[in-house]
Amino acid sequence: MNEEALNKYQKQSTELVVYSRTAERAVELSYPIYNGLKIVPTGFCGFLRVRGVFIECWCAFQAPAGDPRSCQIVVSSVTGDVFAFCHFDRAQCGFKINITQVRKTSLLMSSYGTYPTLASNQVPDMEILQVAFTLRGFPSDEIAPHFEGYLGEHVSAYPAGTHQLSGSFLLRFPLKKKAASRRMTSPYAQFQKTLPASNSRYVETENIPPNAVSAPARMIAGPSRIPLDSGSISARVPLTAAGKEAKYLRNLIAGRGVEADVLEDLFERCTNCKLMFTSSALKVHVKGCLGDIEIP
């Protein structure tokens, strides 16, 4: 099965489609749940790491035994969506999962009780999982059968230091953009001028100057009243995710209401303390609430 066919299937699937070295083929994973609820996308990487598990991209097809090919889990600062990308050769591999979207569409779910945490000093029995999968006799031409009970590769079978890779928040810059009618002086605009020529649609913000991501917001006079960075001068800027949440909350308080699908996506539950938060607030809350679990 070539990467092009796998990427097409992965993009169309409602489930998590990854490469399993244990099964030696592409498989579908159950979406992780905790206390009966699907974990929030920003907690996905932490869920894997505390169990000593990592997910591999298509590069693992050709990788030598014992040479890990963990995908990289990152968060878009534009949409807030969590993605899993190829870390090694993104152009050739093409592995890409929108974990945020799959959380909404997945029908397969599991608490993965067979994967103990690293703190327990226990190792999952991967051989039993492999035998159970083999006995199900999936045909070789099935692109990605469901691998029940399998969450990913366990670090115990790989060199010390192997873990699920993560990354900084990502910024998406358009490949083609019309020239601004007025001079732009925001930190983001200045940073774009320093970027090397590239076809990449994503840039890691760890490479962006600190003032480009931490500039305080201020109110701009005018009908839009959109909070902008201190260097921005255009009032016609799309609302951020937090801005949209504020707009919807104001509509609810004012009695104007919001659509049902908007309300469904507006709040998410912290899997640790069980309290509800807006999606953007949860990203901040979960890092402190989960303690030493590292969240990308």
**Is pLDDT at 185 greater than 50 in this prediction?**
no
Q: Tell me the HSE value of 227 on the side-chain side, using a 13 A CA sphere.
A: 11
Predicted confidence band of residue 290 (pLDDT cuts 50, 70, 90): low
Which three-class secondary structure string do you get for 225-254? CCCEECCCCCCCCCCCHHHHHHHHHHHHHC
Strand order in 96-98's β-sheet?
96-98, 82-85, 72-76, 165-172, 202-204
pLDDT classification of 187: cutoffs 50, 70, 90: very low
When pLDDT is cut at 50, 70 and 90, the band that residue 283 belongs to is low
Quote the CA–CA distance of 162 and 280 in Å, as a whole number.
30
- 8 A C-beta contact, residue 77 and residue 170: yes
Q: Mean pLDDT, the chain, as a whole number?
A: 75
- Asked if residue 289 has pLDDT above 70, the reply is no
Is residue 246 domain-resident?
no
Spell out the residues 6+ positions from residue 97 whose beta carbon is closer than 8 angstroms to its own. 10, 16, 17, 18, 71, 83, 84
Is 57 part of a structural domain of the chain? Answer: yes
Higher-scoring residue by pLDDT: 12, 168: 12
* Cβ(109)–Cβ(31) below 8 Å: yes
HSE value, Cβ hemisphere, 13 Å, CA-based, for 280 = 10
Cα 66 from Cα 155, distance rounded (Å): 10
Residue 75, token pair as written in the block: 């968060």
pLDDT (average), residues 13-39: 95
Do the domain assignments include residue 209?
no
Query: Where is pLDDT greater, at 161 or 201?
Result: 161
Q: Does residue 107 belong to any structural domain of this protein?
A: yes
Q: What is the pLDDT of residue 5?
A: 86
Give tens-digit pLDDT for 33-55: 999 999 999 999 999 999 999 99
Per-residue pLDDT at 214: 37
Distance CA 289, CA 229 (A): 29
Domain membership flag for residue 24: yes
Tell me if 252 sits within 8 A of 261, measured CB to CB: no
More confident residue, 145 or 93: 145
Is residue 216 over pLDDT 60?
no
Q: What's the whole-number mean pLDDT along residues 273-287?
A: 70
Number of domains in the chain: 1
* 78: in domain: yes
pLDDT of residue 261: 72
User: How would you label 105-140 residue by residue, b for 16+ Cβ within 10 Å and e otherwise?
Assistant: ebeeebebebbbebeeeeebebeebbeebeeeeeee
Entry pTM: 0.58
Select the more confidently predicted residue: 143 or 190: 143
Higher pLDDT, 95 or 195: 95
In angstroms, the CA 93 to CA 60 distance is 10
Is 112 a member of any domain? Answer: yes
Q: With contact defined as beta carbons under 8 Å apart, do 9 and 143 qualify?
A: yes
Domain range enclosing 20:
3-167
Question: What would the mean pLDDT of 258-278 be, rounded to a whole number?
Answer: 75
Residue 211 domain-assigned (yes or no):
no
Q: Look at 237 and 241; give whichever has higher pLDDT.
A: 241
Convert the pLDDT of each residue in 128-180 to its tens digit: 999 999 999 999 889 999 999 999 999 999 999 999 999 754 544 444 444 44
User: Does 72 score more than 50 pLDDT?
Assistant: yes
pLDDT at 165: 93
